[in-house]
Structure 1
């Protein structure tokens, strides 16, 4: 099957590519009323945005990291195709059509009217270069581990507008995977990551004052519809209350990552995002290498109490690492019940068998990971301690957290319970399990040969068989592996000035497309 040609996303038309057939999501965004409440307004043609943290880099192959992708994806750089976060379908972008042309091959037809912001023409050679750089190089790109794993791709420019991509094995969702590869010109370094990329997007980097602000200017040669705002200015503040205050005092037009009590008032807009909060345990260091201790932690967490006291309606207790709407979600799984007696009994049983349950466990959490992360972390520390475990809390910044989150992991600090917030941006369970559950997954500390086989087999299936296979995997994880203590499926909040119209969706927490913002009225 092949897709039909499609114009830029401004048309809002959808394309049913073979890769997305059977994988459409039913995620729904929330409409923005933006009526009444406090005042606010854009400073001329500049859209002013405050983020929870400064981007660590704008490197395109790190776009699957929220702190980077929220600025870069579909703003500075663009992929060949992109997934509509509401429908789950794939939309044409730099590619207009795609089809499976062999058991292990896909062919893409590319646009012929695109240039990079430096004036370099976009061609199939650019696309092949970008895929090779992100997936096959030694750069250690996050997108490689998150989306592609160890398998290399062979990307070939047949001519200027025809690209073939060959995989090691059949891959029914390759176009979906490629939606995470941001396209860059062939002049981009292949020996080191870049801080300020060149892309084909509607904006380009104008200036970056480290520690202060980042400014993007509209790309006047952009191939698609011109965005409404001539520039975007990003600032960052760690505290949600500070971000909300900047919004209500008309210092910014958009405040990202707000919590229900941060003070945005009627300017705060809730939306269903795709984030799941969980503890991830190190699997090879005592006492967390004993499944009874991991089960005890799950029993010790009062999930309903945490959500009821800290979060608004809409945040749900989680039984698995993906939310409803993602292919593979198992709606028969029940969250762990809060049973402190059961938790203590399991810890005592492990202690009786010689497991060093008194060894200090470090609970690591990243500052500004999500609203009220410090409060949640403190509650978790207390609840795990009540189960008879010794727990130290360590709040770290973004660069430090990556040492715990991604391979190679920190190995000299004892057992780690890492608080993670996982967003499945792609809408398919494979993007979760490949990084978090395989033996060599980029964010996995567990794994068995048997489980690896289950995961590999599921990735080759399609349609209902694919969904059923991943449902079984999440059930198996909860029973036999227990690498996680899943806590909550989150609800996001973004703050919007009354002079700005924008409709958040399930992807808003990971990428904010500037072209989707327009002045109100």
Structure 2
């Protein structure tokens, strides 16, 4: 029987979660461990080569040879965790977001509009305190009822605690939020200062039960989404099944299975051979043919330079890196001309994109000249530089790393290419950064799915941003003031921020705005959008025809 919780209507500063009771007045039991909730999906099956851990009975189709029961998805890599407060990381969010877990509000990736999810309404009179009306009749995958206490705890845990969630630095920075539970279905959230996009920020928080630890991260979440996590076989697969009590429309496929293959050609082959229905991170070079579906994915790739060590503590060297890279050639030779040379970290369509900026020209002679000038002034331009690149992050990334290493070496820099797996790469990607490494050149892939420059500049350009290597007081002030604007003034202020970065800071060497490609089998129907690379909503996949 599903438990119900009663909360006396009142306003409570939700710094400490108060005990919740069931109808009989007994403290609500903690949720069952995952093992007790699991539903077997092909236990005992072992992966080999390109094989898929689905038997013909389990995944190949119904007894009459109709629609397959299990939707099979092959990813570039195994998620390092499914911790909901890390769901802004692509490798986690592609499984979690709006599939296993859900936010209060959700941005429509096609229109940019905020739409109801676990909250049905939200409003504010001063852009500082926002009131959210929560959806009734929602239950978590353990059968317990969703209320404002869960939403409040989610915010406290991800934003106000010392848990160290990536989403905190990425979306909220150093400021805490004041959270008050008014009643079961009403929540008030107050920012430290006026924040006209607070509901958009909250769209990055995947709601978890109030019993979820705020001192330890969880690897396997309990959510409210259309699919519940059944089993995670490390190194092999993640199995999910449709949640029978889901508040919304039931998904078309009763089960789904995630697998991962590092080689994009292998993922493509699994689509063409009928071993999977959806494959991520493909390109036409993978010989996927008409089953490869391109989409604008809002991702931008760039090199981030850490300026605390030589030679990057000299702006001339950082400028030289920009001149040394043949961005047009990379786009043409590695990506078939589908991508677009970038001059900033956000593509067109994001509030604050500066249309007047142009990519740095390819000028290897100017690059050499700047390096030589810095060397003549005492800068150790021979200091080793570690170029950190994540394996299988996107198509042909290993080749890209090699090209960048060669072109920067020709400019007179001592670059060592280091390919890393996801978990190791994260220690370089976000604060606190690896220490005692010397000069670091980090290949980053940034997707601004929120559609507002705040989610880029606050984490990548503030002096203490989660993914920023340095900055200046003047630049910090520009960014802070831009975030307090709205409308046309907001867009113009962020345009100035991007221009200032290129002229005065030069933390980044922007490479390209990317396009994505999914492999989609003929047996299913799915229309990818700009968020598909970060949150592949399985409930939107239906049988073809």
- TM-score in same-fold range (> 0.5): yes
- Rounded to whole Å, the distance in 2 between the matches of 1:100 and 1:413 is 47
Q: Does 1:234 align with 2:261?
A: no
State the shift of 1:42 in Å: 6.0
State the shift of 1:103 in Å: 4.8
Given the alignment, which residue of 353, 360, 369 partners 2:393?
A: 369
Given the alignment, which residue of 173, 185, 191 partners 1:161?
A: 185
Return closer, same or farther for 1:309/1:172 CA change in 2, 3 Å cut-off: same
| Long gaps (5+) in structure 2 | 1-55, 62-67
- Rounded to whole Å, the distance in 1 between the matches of 2:250 and 2:307 is 50
Contact preservation (8 Å) 1:204, 1:219: yes
State the shift of 1:245 in Å: 0.8
Contact preservation (8 Å) 2:294, 2:516: yes
Q: Does 1:447 align with 2:447?
A: no
Q: Does 1:195 align with 2:219?
A: yes
What corresponds to 1:146 in structure 2? 170
* SS of alignment partner, residue 285 of structure 2: coil
Contact preservation (8 Å) 2:127, 2:196: no
Q: Does 1:81 align with 2:108?
A: no
Q: Does 1:308 align with 2:346?
A: no
What corresponds to 1:248 in structure 2? 272
Query: After the TM superposition, which residues 267-282 of structure 1 pair with which residues of structure 2 at under 5 Å, given as runs?
Result: 267-282=291-306
Q: Does 1:412 align with 2:420?
A: no
Return closer, same or farther for 1:103/1:70 CA change in 2, 3 Å cut-off: closer
- Hey, which bits of structure 1, 4+ residues long, moved more than 6 A? none
What corresponds to 2:462 in structure 1? 438
* Larger of the two Rg values belongs to structure: 2
CA deviation profile, 1:423-470 (whole Å, cap 9, x unmatched): 001110000000000011000011111111100000000000000000
- Rounded to whole Å, the distance in 1 between the matches of 2:215 and 2:137 is 29
Contact preservation (8 Å) 2:128, 2:196: no
Q: Does 1:173 align with 2:197?
A: yes
What corresponds to 2:38 in structure 1? none
Contact preservation (8 Å) 2:139, 2:246: yes
What corresponds to 1:388 in structure 2? 412
What corresponds to 1:66 in structure 2? 90
Given the alignment, which residue of 108, 131, 139 partners 2:132?
A: 108
How many equivalent pairs are there? 482
CA deviation profile, 1:227-248 (whole Å, cap 9, x unmatched): 0000110000001001011111
TM-score by length of 2: 0.87
Q: CA RMSD in A?
A: 1.1
Contact preservation (8 Å) 1:42, 1:48: no
* SS of alignment partner, residue 138 of structure 1: coil
State the shift of 1:265 in Å: 1.3
- Rounded to whole Å, the distance in 1 between the matches of 2:382 and 2:342 is 28
Given the alignment, which residue of 284, 298, 309 partners 1:260?
A: 284
Contact preservation (8 Å) 1:344, 1:387: yes
- Rounded to whole Å, the distance in 2 between the matches of 1:361 and 1:456 is 32
Query: After the TM superposition, which residues 10-25 of structure 1 pair with which residues of structure 2 at under 5 Å, given as runs?
Result: none
Contact preservation (8 Å) 1:130, 1:185: yes
Contact preservation (8 Å) 1:81, 1:179: yes
Contact preservation (8 Å) 1:42, 1:500: no
Contact preservation (8 Å) 1:74, 1:513: yes
- Rounded to whole Å, the distance in 2 between the matches of 1:67 and 1:122 is 27
What corresponds to 1:344 in structure 2? 368
- Rounded to whole Å, the distance in 1 between the matches of 2:108 and 2:423 is 30
| Long gaps (5+) in structure 1 | 1-39
Contact preservation (8 Å) 1:276, 1:489: yes
State the shift of 1:312 in Å: 2.5
Contact preservation (8 Å) 1:101, 1:107: no
Contact preservation (8 Å) 1:362, 1:417: yes
Higher deviation after alignment, 182-191 or 71-80 = 182-191
- Rounded to whole Å, the distance in 2 between the matches of 1:73 and 1:374 is 28
- Rounded to whole Å, the distance in 1 between the matches of 2:180 and 2:371 is 56
What corresponds to 1:335 in structure 2? 359
Contact preservation (8 Å) 1:367, 1:397: yes
Given the alignment, which residue of 403, 421, 436 partners 1:397?
A: 421
Quick one: higher RCO (CA 8 Å, sep 6+), 1 or 2?
1
Given the alignment, which residue of 483, 487, 500 partners 2:524?
A: 500
Contact preservation (8 Å) 1:501, 1:519: yes
Contact preservation (8 Å) 1:202, 1:218: yes
Given the alignment, which residue of 279, 295, 318 partners 1:294?
A: 318
- Rounded to whole Å, the distance in 1 between the matches of 2:224 and 2:127 is 31
CA deviation profile, 1:9-48 (whole Å, cap 9, x unmatched): xxxxxxxxxxxxxxxxxxxxxxxxxxxxxxx996421100
- Rounded to whole Å, the distance in 2 between the matches of 1:455 and 1:260 is 39
- Rounded to whole Å, the distance in 2 between the matches of 1:167 and 1:337 is 42
State the shift of 1:101 in Å: 3.6
Given the alignment, which residue of 495, 508, 512 partners 1:488?
A: 512
CA deviation profile, 1:244-289 (whole Å, cap 9, x unmatched): 1111111111111112211211110111111000000011111011
Higher deviation after alignment, 71-80 or 182-191 = 182-191
TM-score by length of 1: 0.91
* SS of alignment partner, residue 284 of structure 2: coil
Contact preservation (8 Å) 2:228, 2:241: yes
* SS of alignment partner, residue 72 of structure 2: strand
- Rounded to whole Å, the distance in 2 between the matches of 1:304 and 1:103 is 43
Query: After the TM superposition, which residues 2-13 of structure 1 pair with which residues of structure 2 at under 5 Å, given as runs?
Result: none
- Rounded to whole Å, the distance in 2 between the matches of 1:516 and 1:499 is 14
* SS of alignment partner, residue 261 of structure 1: helix
- Rounded to whole Å, the distance in 2 between the matches of 1:123 and 1:284 is 47
